[in-house]
A = this chain, B = another copy of it.
Amino acid sequence: MVDPAQNSVNPDKYHRILEAAIGVFAEQGFFNATVSKIARAAGVADGTIYLYFKNKNDILLHFFNYKTKEVFGTFRHEVDKGGNAREKLRNLIKAHLREFQKDRNMAVVFQAEARQIRYFEVYIKDLTNMYFDLVGEIVVQGQEESVFRRGLDPSLVKRFILGTVDEVINTWLHAARKYDLEAQADAIVDLFVNGIGATPPK
C-alpha cells in the first residue's frame, strides 16, 4: 500500500476512491457498502482499492482523519476571523452548517457512522474534542468579555452547542424538502445566547 499522505503517485486515484467511497457509504451505509461497489463508483478495479487503503475500514478511517479534519480546520479559521466571542460563535455555527451543506455525502457519513462503529470511536472523539476545544475557547472569551455569563458548566455548554447543531443538520439531512441550512445560523445562535425564556422586563 502506498502512503497517500506523501503519495507522489497518482494522488488523483487516491482521492477518487475516497470520494467514491464516501458516496457509497452515504447512500448505503458502511456495512452495506461493498468494496466492489466502491471500486465501480471510483472507476477502478477492486484490487486497486488495496493499493491505496489497507482495507475497507481504512477508507472510513482516512475519511475521518483527513477529510473531516480538513473541514474542522476551516472551523478554526472561521472562528479566528471573528472579533468578539459572539461573532466567533456565529462564525463557527455558520461554517459548520455551510460545510456540511456543501458536501452532503460527508454530512451523511459523518452523522450516520460516527456513532455507530466502535472501531472508529477514537477518531470521532478526536474530532469532537477539537470541536469542544473551539467552543471552550469561545465561551471563556465570552465570559471575559462579559457577554456570556459566569458559572456555566463549560463541558455542558459544549454539548449544548454541538448537540443542537448536530440535530439541526440531522433534521436537514432527513427532510423531504431541501432548505438552506446556513440560514439557520443566526436563529441558533440567538437560542444559545438568550435561551427560550421570556426576557424579564429589563
Contact = CB atoms under 8 A, between A and B. Distances in A.
Interface in A11-51: 28-29, 31
Contact of A196 (B139, B159, B170, B174): B139
A69 B68 CA distance: 35
Given A165-B163, A167-B162, A167-B163, A153 B196 contact: no
Interface in A153-197: 153, 155-157, 159-160, 162-168, 170-171, 174, 184, 187-188, 191-197
A121 interface: yes
Interface stretch (A76-84, A97-105, A143-151): A143-151
Contacts of A166: 163, 166-167
A193 B192 CA distance: 10
A-side interface size class? 35 or more
Contacts of A165: 163
B149 A159 contact: no
A197 B194 contact: yes
Q: 6 closest Cβ contacts across the A-B interface?
A: A163-B167, A195-B195, A193-B197, A31-B31, A163-B163, A163-B164
5 contacts: A142-B196, A147-B198, A152-B191, A156-B168, A163-B168
Interface of A: 28-29, 31, 111-113, 115-118, 121, 125, 139, 142, 146-150, 152-153, 155-157, 159-160, 162-168, 170-171, 174, 184, 187-188, 191-200, 202
